[in-house]
Amino acid sequence: MGAVVTFPGRSAPAEIRPSAGPSRLRCLGVSRDADNPQAVAVTFSRPLSEAELRVFHDACRQAAGIVEAACRPDESQP
């Protein structure tokens, strides 16, 4: 069975843990949406279940803050 990646303080619900076999979920790419500068398109190796989509949404909300902080200019530099 593949590893389940979780954020600190969170655990993946049992129903979305990856199963062995050809249907293992992989992220194939992320690209910008040409019509909306605030949107991105994410391509997976298969359709997400409703449970997987909810977890992905939660992870994106948490990741937004991490990305923003990581890309903020270093304020300690003059």
**pLDDT digit string (tens) for 5-25?**
555 555 555 555 555 555 899
Q: Which amino acid is at 20?
A: A
Digit-coded pLDDT (tens) for 50-78: 999 999 999 999 999 999 999 988 766 55
Contacts of 45 (CB under 8 A, 6+ apart): 24, 25, 26, 27, 28
Biggest CA–CA distance in the chain, Å, is 53
31 within 8 A of 69, measured Cβ to Cβ? no
pTM of the predicted model, to two decimals? Answer: 0.61
pLDDT the model gives residue 20? 53
Give the residue with greater pLDDT, 13 vs 30. 30
